[in-house]
Structure 1
Amino acid sequence: MTEQVPLSSRVKQIIEVDGLKFRDLDGDGELTPFEDWRLTPAERAADLASRMSPDEKLGLMVITSRPMGISQHNKEFTSHEGVLDEQYLPIKLDPHTSAGIPFEGTTQMISELNIRHFILREEPTGSRIATWINTMNEVAEDSRWGIPVIVAANSKNEAGAFKMGGTPEDQPFTEWPGTLGLAATDSLEVIESFAAHSRAEWRASGLRKGYMYMADVFTDPRWFRGQGTLGEDPEFVSKAIGALVRGFQGEDGLEADGVALTTKHFPGGGPRENGTDPHYAEGSFNIYPTPGSLEDYHLPPFQAALDAGTSSIMPYYSIPSKEKSSTPQGRLTDFEQVGFAFNGEVLRLLRAMGHRGYINSDSGVLSKMAWGVEDLSTPERVGRAVMAGTDMFADTNDVASVREAYVKGHFTSERLDGAAALLLEELFALGLFENPYVDPDEADRVVQNAEARAAAEDAHLKSVVLAKNHDGTLPLTAESLAGKRVYVELFATGLTVKELDALRRRLAQAHPGISFTTDYHDADVAILLLRPFIGSYFEFVGIGDLGIDDHSHVDIEKVRDIRTHVDTMVVGLNTLFPWLLDGIEPLADGLLMGFETDYGIMVEAILGGFSPTGKLPITFPIDAAAIAVDEDGRCASPNDVPGFAKEQHMQGRPYVYVDADGNRYQLGHGLTYGG
C-alpha cells in the first residue's frame, strides 16, 4: 500500500485520487503527471518541462542573491509585512552580478522573470529565514505551475567561513571548527556528526541547497581559499566529501528531507599559479607542471562526490594553462584555453566521470570572471557556456541575456530542455512540490540547539594539534603554575579590547586557582594566541608572503619582547595557511595549532583540560626559499602537488619544516601529552 506523503499548500487546492492526496499545482482539477509524487523525480521533471514555455524554463537557469525584507531600511519597498524586499534598482552593482542591468523586486523576480533559485547572504535567526522562504514560496505557488522556490547559501556551520556582509543582529548556525579543523580531527565520525547536525539546522530553516563543500585539494600553500578546503590529502578529502554529501543529501541519493549540495570547484582549484586566485585576472590559470597531477591529486575527491550522488557541481573560473602545464593530464588532452564553465572538454570529462545532476557556474562568469571569453558579448558567453554543458548561472538575475542567447540561437532548445529538466528534478527530489513550507518556531528550536553545540565543542577539542612540546612543557597545570603569573594575549585582525577582555575573564573564571596578569612584564608564563591573516578574496595583492609578522597582522616585535620577559612561552596558532614558522616556532616552548578553533578551547588544551589528538591536515614549508618564485614565475616547489609529496619533485631540495626538537610538520603530524 502506497504511503501518503506530507503535503502543505497555501494557494492551490489539494485533490484526492485513488484514496491519496496531491497538490493541484496547475489548477485544472485533475492529477497531472508532474503532480503525482508516486512517479520518479526524473519522470515528473520531464513532464513539467514539456509543458513549460521557453521563458519559464529560462528563468530556472539563473540563481541570484536576494536581500531579505529585514535588510531594507525603507519599509515602503517591502511587502508581506516587511518580509520581502521589493525595491527596484535600475542598475545593480555588485562584486558578482553583471553591471548595468536592473535588479527587480522579489515578487517581480518570481512572477515575471520566473526565477526560482535564490542565494541567502544574511545571517538572521532561523525563524526569519524560514518566514522569508515560506513567503517567497507562497508567491511562487500562485504561478501557473506552482513551481517552488529554493534558497541556497554558502556553508554556514564553520567558524571563520566566508560571509558577505553581516550585521550585529546576525545569529550564526552552530559554529564548528573551520573545514581544515574538521580535517585535523582525522575523524570521519566527526564529519558525519557535523553533517547530521548541520543538515537539521538547514532543513528546519527552509534552506535546501548548499554551495558546499570544497573538494579542492590544497596544493599551493598561498591560495587564499585553501583555508576552506579539507586539506591536502586526496584520500582523506575523498572520504570526507563522500561523507558530507551523504550526510546532507541522504545515504542513497537526494532525499525529501535532505539538503542538496553543489560540490565545488571542478576540476579542483588547488593547482594555483603561485597562490593567485581566478577571482582576479592575475590568477586566471590552473597550472599542472607535474605529469599526472590532475588525475593523481585533484580529481579523486570529485569522483567521491559523484559516487555519493552530489546534486550539482560548480566549475571554477580558471583556464587550464597549456603553456605552463605538462600535457596531456590524463583524460584532459586539448587544454581548451577558456574558463571551466565554458570549457566543453572539462565538462564532458565531468559527465564521463558519472555526473548526472546539473552544472552550476561559479558567480560572475558572465561578467567579471569570464576568463578566455572576454571578447564575447554577455549573450554569447551564455551560449558558449550552455553549449559546453553549464546548466545554471550563479549570482545573477540577468534572465534577459539568457533569453537573448536562446532567441539568437547561441544555445539550442535541446539544451534548454535538458537544463530545465535537471534543475526541476532537484526540486522534485527534495519534496518541495509537495511540502515547501517549514515551521519558523521549529527553526528557532533547532538552530544552535544544545546537542549540536555539544557536538561542535567536541569537534573543536579534537581539532587541536600539538605540534611542539619542548622538554614536556605542556600541559601547564595548576600545580606547575603554582606561584607563577600567567599572561594571555591575542594577536588578530580587527581584535577589540572588549573581545580580549572577554577571553581573559572566561579563563579567569574557569581557572580560579591560576594567577593571571594583564602585564607581561610581570609574568612568568605567556600564552600567545595568534591569528595571522593575509590576502584578499577579490583582488590581487601580490604573491602571498606566509611569514608571521606585521604584514600578517601579528606584532612580531611585541611577541619577541614578551619572550624576553617570561620563562615559558606557549603559542596557539590559528592555521589558515601553512605559515612560515621560522619566526615563531623557535620562540615557543610549546606550539599548538587550531583551524578557526575556539580560542578558549585552545587555552584549555594548554592548561591540561584535555590532551590534544589532532593531526596536521597540511604540510608546512621549511622556509621562504621552498616556495620562492623566480623571474619566470616558476615556483621552487610544484604548485599542483600536495605538500607531503612536494619533495619527490624538488631534486633533493627540502620542503617540510623541521622544528628545534626534530618534529617534521608534515601531513599527519601531531603529538599527545602521553608521548
Structure 2
Amino acid sequence: MTAQRHLSSRHKTILEVDGLRFRDLDADGALSPFEDWRLSPAERAADLVARMAPDEKIGLMVISSRPMGISQHNKDFTSHDGVLDEQHLPIKLDPHTSAGIPFEGTTEMIAEKHMRHFIMREEPTGARIATWINTMNEVAEQTRFGIPVVVAANSKNEAGGFKMGGTPEDQPFAQWPGTLGLAATGSLELIESFARHSRAEWMASGLRKGYMYMADVFTDPRWFRGHGTFGEDPRFVAAAIGTIVRAFQGEDGLEADGVALTTKHFPGGGARENGTDPHYAEGRFNIYPTEGSLEEYHLPPFQAVIDAGTASVMPYYAIPSAEKSATPQGRVTDFEQVGFAFNREILGLLRNMGHRGYINSDSGVLSKMAWGVEDLTTPERVGRAVMAGTDMFADTNDVASVREAYLAGEFTTQRLDEAAQLLLAELFALGLFENPYVDPERADEVVANAEAVAAAQEAHRRSVVLAKNHDATLPLAAADLSGKRVYLELFARDLRVKELDALRSRIAAAHPEVEFTTDYRGADVAIVLIAPFIGSYFEFVGIGDLAIDEHSHVDLEKVRRIRESVGILVVGLNAKFPWLLDGVEPLADALLIGFDTDWDAIVDAIFGAFSPSGRLPITFPISAEAVAIDTEGRCASPNDVPGFAKEQHMDGRPYVYVDADGNRYELGHGLGYEG
C-alpha cells in the first residue's frame, strides 16, 4: 500500500484521489501528473515543463542573493510584517550595454520574474530563516503552478568559513573546525557526523540547498581559497567529499529530507597560477604544467561526488591555459580558451563522467568574471554558457538577459527545457512541492543544539596536530607548572585588546590550576598563539608571501623577545595556508597546528587535557625558494601537483619543511604524547 506523503498548503486546496491526498497546485480541480508524488521527480518535471511558458522556465535559470526584510532599514520597503524586503533598486550599469539592471523586491522577483532560487547571505537565527523562507513560499504558492522557492547558502558550520556581514543578533549554526581541520582528523566517521548534524540544522531552518563543499585539491600553497578544501590528498578528498554528499543529500540520491549540494569548483580550482585566483583578472588561468596532473590529482574527487549523486556541480571561473599546460591532460585533448562555465570541452567531460544533475555557474560569470568571452554581450555570454551546458547562473537576477538570449536564438528551446527540467527535478526530489514549510520554533531548538555543539567541540580537539615536541616539552602538566607563571599571547589580524583579554580570561577560568601572568618578562612559560593572514578574496594584492611576520599580522620581533625571556615557548598556529615556518618553528620548544580550530582546544592540548591525534592534511614548504617564481612566471615547484608529490618534479630539490628535531611537515605528519 502506498504511504501518504505529508502535505502542507496555505493557499492551494487538497485533492483526494484513490484514497490519497495531493496538492492541487494548478487549481484546476484535477490531479495533474506534476502534482502526483507517486511519479518520479524526472516524470513530474517533464510534465510541468510542458505546461510552462518560456518566461516561467527562464526565471528558474537564475539564483540571486536576496536580502531579508530584517536587513532593510526602511520598514516601508518591506511586506509581511517586515519579513520580506520589497525595495526596488537600480544597480550598477552593465559595461557592455550601459543599461541599468534593476534589483526588484522579493514579491516581484517571485510573482513577475518567476524566480525560485535565492541565496541567503545573512546569519540570523534559525527561526528568522524559517519564517523568511516560509513567507517566500506563501508568495510562490499563489502563482500559477505554485512552484516552491528554494534558498541556498554558503557553508555555515565551519569556523572560518566564508561569511558576509553580521549583526549582534546572529546565531551561528554549530561551529566545527574548518574543512582542513576536519581533514586533519583523518576520520570519515567524524566527517559524516559533521554532515548529519549540519543537515539537521539546515533542514529545520528551511535551507534546502548548499553551495558546498569544495572538491578541489589544494595544490598551490598560496591559493586564497585552499583553506576551504579537504586538503591535498586526492584519495582522501574524494572519500571525504563523497561522504559529505551522501550524508547531506541521502545515501541513495537526493531525499525529501535532504539538503541538495552544489559541489565546487569543477574541474578543480587548486591548479592556480602561483596562487592567484580567478575572482580577479590576474588569476584567470588554471595551469597544468605537469603531464597527467588533471586526471591524476584534480578529477578523482569530482568523480566521487558524481558517483554519490551530487545534485549540481559548479564550474570555476578560470580558463584552462593551453600555453602553460602540458596537453593532452587525460581525457582532455586540447584546452578551449574560455572560462569553464562557457567551456564545451570541460562541461562535456563533466557529463561524460556521469553527472546527471544540473550545472550551476559560479557568481559573476555574466559580468566581472566572464573570462575568455569578455568581448561578447551579456545575452551572447548567456547563450554561449547555456549551449556549452550551463543550466543556472549564480548570484544574478538578470532574467532579462537570459530572456533576450533565448528570443535572439542564442540558445535553443531544447536547452531551455533541459535546464528547466533538471532544476525542477531537484525541487520535486526535495519534497518541496508537497511541503515547502517548516516550524520556526523547532528551528531555534535544532540550530546549535547541545548534541551538535558537543560533537563539534570533540572535532576541534581531534583536529589539533602536534607537529613538534622537543624533549617531550608537552603536555604541560599541573605538577610541572607548580611555582611557575604562564604567559599567553595571541597574534591575529584586527585583534582588539578586549578580545585578547576575553581569551585570556576564558583560558584562565578553564585552567584554574595554572598561574597566569600578563607580562611575559615575569613568566617562566609562554604560549604564543598565531593566526597569520594574507590575501583577498576579490582583489589581486600580489603573489602571496607565505612568511610568518608583520606582513601576515604576526609581530615576529615580539615573539623573539618572548623567547629570550622564558624557559619554555609553545606555539599554537591556526593555519589557512601551508606557511613558511622557518621564522617561528626554531623559536618553539613545541608547535601545535590547527586549521580554524578553537584556541581553547589547542590550549587544552598544551595542558594535557587530551593527546593530540590530528595529522597534517597539507605539506608545508621548506623555504621561500621552494615556491619562488622565475622571470618567466614559472614556480620552482609545480602549481598543479600536491605538496606530498612536488619533489618528484623538482630535479632533486627539496620541498618539504624539516624542523630542528628532524620532523618532516608533509601530508600525514603528526605526533602524540604516547610516543
Say yes or no: does 1:253 pair with 2:250.
Answer: no
Partner of 2:205: 205
Partner of 1:384: 384
Q: Deviations over 1:260-292 (max 9, x none)?
A: 000000000000000000000000000000000
Q: Deviations over 1:162-215 (max 9, x none)?
A: 112222221110000000000000000110000000000000000000000000
Aligned partners of 2:91, 2:364: CA distance in 1, in Å? 16
- Deviation at residue 100 of structure 1 after TM alignment: 3.2
- Deviation at residue 472 of structure 1 after TM alignment: 0.4
Aligned partners of 2:452, 2:58: CA distance in 1, in Å? 40
Pairing of 1:429-468 with structure 2 (within 5 A): 429-468=429-468
Partner of 2:662: 662
How much is the aligned-residue C-alpha RMSD, in angstroms?
1.1
Partner of 2:474: 474
Give 3-state SS (helix, strand or coil) of 1:91's partner.
Answer: strand
What is the TM-score when the length of structure 2 is the normalising length? 0.99
Pairing of 1:270-349 with structure 2 (within 5 A): 270-349=270-349
Partner of 1:36: 36
1:475/1:606 contact within 8 Å kept: yes
Pairing of 1:53-132 with structure 2 (within 5 A): 53-91=53-91, 100-132=100-132
Aligned partners of 2:537, 2:507: CA distance in 1, in Å? 34
Give 3-state SS (helix, strand or coil) of 2:385's partner.
Answer: helix
Aligned partners of 1:460, 1:160: CA distance in 2, in Å? 13
Partner of 1:157: 157
Q: Deviations over 1:125-161 (max 9, x none)?
A: 0000000000000000000000000000000000010
Aligned partners of 2:324, 2:400: CA distance in 1, in Å? 38
Partner of 1:52: 52
Give 3-state SS (helix, strand or coil) of 2:544's partner.
Answer: coil
Aligned partners of 2:512, 2:163: CA distance in 1, in Å? 37
- Deviation at residue 90 of structure 1 after TM alignment: 2.1
- Deviation at residue 76 of structure 1 after TM alignment: 0.1
- Deviation at residue 93 of structure 1 after TM alignment: 7.9
Aligned partners of 1:461, 1:113: CA distance in 2, in Å? 48
1:580/1:620 contact within 8 Å kept: yes
Partner of 1:575: 575
Give 3-state SS (helix, strand or coil) of 1:425's partner.
Answer: helix
Partner of 2:367: 367
Partner of 2:633: 633
1:617/1:667 contact within 8 Å kept: yes
Q: Deviations over 1:362-402 (max 9, x none)?
A: 00000000000000000000000000000000000000000
Aligned partners of 2:8, 2:490: CA distance in 1, in Å? 51
Give 3-state SS (helix, strand or coil) of 1:90's partner.
Answer: strand
Amino acid at match of 1:223: W
Partner of 2:20: 20
Partner of 2:492: 492
Amino acid at match of 2:589: D
Q: Deviations over 1:454-496 (max 9, x none)?
A: 1000100000000000000000011111111000011011211
Aligned partners of 2:111, 2:390: CA distance in 1, in Å? 24
Aligned partners of 1:37, 1:430: CA distance in 2, in Å? 11
1:99/1:367 contact within 8 Å kept: no
Aligned partners of 1:489, 1:293: CA distance in 2, in Å? 42
Aligned partners of 1:40, 1:509: CA distance in 2, in Å? 57
Partner of 1:242: 242
Aligned partners of 2:585, 2:592: CA distance in 1, in Å? 10
Pairing of 1:389-404 with structure 2 (within 5 A): 389-404=389-404
Aligned partners of 1:413, 1:586: CA distance in 2, in Å? 65
1:563/1:587 contact within 8 Å kept: yes
Amino acid at match of 2:161: A
- Deviation at residue 500 of structure 1 after TM alignment: 1.2
Structure 2 alignment gaps of length 5 or more? none
Aligned partners of 2:418, 2:607: CA distance in 1, in Å? 59
- Deviation at residue 60 of structure 1 after TM alignment: 0.1
> Structure 1 residues 83-92 or 283-292, which shifts more?
83-92
Amino acid at match of 2:292: G
Aligned partners of 2:469, 2:421: CA distance in 1, in Å? 58
Give 3-state SS (helix, strand or coil) of 2:102's partner.
Answer: coil
Q: Deviations over 1:73-132 (max 9, x none)?
A: 0000000000000000022589xxx99310000000000000000000000000000000
Aligned partners of 1:334, 1:79: CA distance in 2, in Å? 53
1:60/1:114 contact within 8 Å kept: yes
Amino acid at match of 2:261: L
Partner of 1:621: 621
Pairing of 1:500-515 with structure 2 (within 5 A): 500-515=500-515
Alignment size in residue pairs: 673
Aligned partners of 1:234, 1:170: CA distance in 2, in Å? 36
Aligned partners of 2:431, 2:162: CA distance in 1, in Å? 29
Pairing of 1:543-558 with structure 2 (within 5 A): 543-558=543-558
Say yes or no: does 1:538 pair with 2:555.
Answer: no
Aligned partners of 2:169, 2:371: CA distance in 1, in Å? 38
Give 3-state SS (helix, strand or coil) of 2:172's partner.
Answer: coil
Partner of 2:263: 263
Partner of 1:594: 594
What is the TM-score when the length of structure 1 is the normalising length? 0.99
Amino acid at match of 2:340: F
Amino acid at match of 2:240: A
Amino acid at match of 2:252: D
Amino acid at match of 2:81: E
Structure 1 alignment gaps of length 5 or more? none
Percent of pairs identical after alignment? 80
Give 3-state SS (helix, strand or coil) of 1:101's partner.
Answer: strand
- Deviation at residue 498 of structure 1 after TM alignment: 1.6
Pairing of 1:134-213 with structure 2 (within 5 A): 134-213=134-213
* Alpha-carbon spacing, 1:573–1:470, altered in 2? closer, same or farther (3 Å): same
1:92/1:103 contact within 8 Å kept: no
* Alpha-carbon spacing, 1:608–1:99, altered in 2? closer, same or farther (3 Å): farther
Aligned partners of 2:461, 2:187: CA distance in 1, in Å? 12
Give 3-state SS (helix, strand or coil) of 2:90's partner.
Answer: coil
1:289/1:324 contact within 8 Å kept: yes
1:487/1:527 contact within 8 Å kept: yes
Aligned partners of 2:202, 2:496: CA distance in 1, in Å? 31
Give 3-state SS (helix, strand or coil) of 2:186's partner.
Answer: coil
- Deviation at residue 510 of structure 1 after TM alignment: 1.6
Q: Deviations over 1:274-319 (max 9, x none)?
A: 0000000000000000000000000000000000000000000000
Give 3-state SS (helix, strand or coil) of 2:454's partner.
Answer: helix
1:91/1:99 contact within 8 Å kept: no
Amino acid at match of 1:87: Q
Amino acid at match of 1:387: M
